[in-house]
Amino acid sequence: MSRNAKWVVLAVIAAVVVVVVFFIARDIFLGRHAPFDCGDGPRRTIDIRDFTTQYSAYSLELEASVADKARISTKVNPIQLQQLSEAIQNARDFRQYVVAGYNSCAVTKAQYAQYGARFQALDNLAREINQLTASPSSSQGEMAKLGALISQYGQLARKQGTQ
């Protein structure tokens, strides 16, 4: 390869790096988190990935852990497993609605705070369910509590989905 060809290749690589850095910097500093006002005060755009990380760390593994527990013990009702699966999907869909609504001014700051508290409650229930399903041996009382927590999780997720 000639000396001129090497310089051309290096220039092309440098140009690509500059363009990539420009788009990343623009997204971080100007686009994604640019402040805007919806009449209830200034706000910044929320990224769904940040919201998911904050409010549903345990919900992501919840369905799998309960399904594993159902294989180990027949105490978990198959109807409850179906309800849990539907509840998780409802919560996922509603989470997307909340973020999109907040970013488009359809959800007020006060509503967003209420929804955040509800998502935190779902997360806490998921944490309790995961703790119960992680136990290798469960007593009759723990299985009853697991069933109650699954029902409570489903009710709260359905309630959020109808709001």
Mean pLDDT, residues 16-44:
75
> Model-level pTM?
0.62
Higher pLDDT, 158 or 163: 158
Please give the pLDDT value at position 74: 41
CA distances from residue 116 to 52, 121, 155 in whole angstroms, order as listed: 11, 9, 17
**pLDDT tens per residue across span 83-120:** 777 777 777 788 888 888 988 889 898 998 888 888 88
pLDDT-derived band at 146, boundaries 50, 70, 90: confident
Token pair 């041996």: residue: 137
**Average pLDDT of 53-60?**
54
pLDDT at 75: 52
Q: Is the pLDDT of residue 39 over 50?
A: yes
Instruction: Dump pLDDT digits (tens) for 4-21.
Output: 888 888 888 999 998 888
For the chain, the average pLDDT equals 76
**Residue, of 118 and 55, whose pLDDT is higher:** 118
Q: Residue 21 belongs to what H/E stretch?
A: helix 3-26
Q: What angle do CA 65, 148, 71 make, to 5 degrees?
A: 35
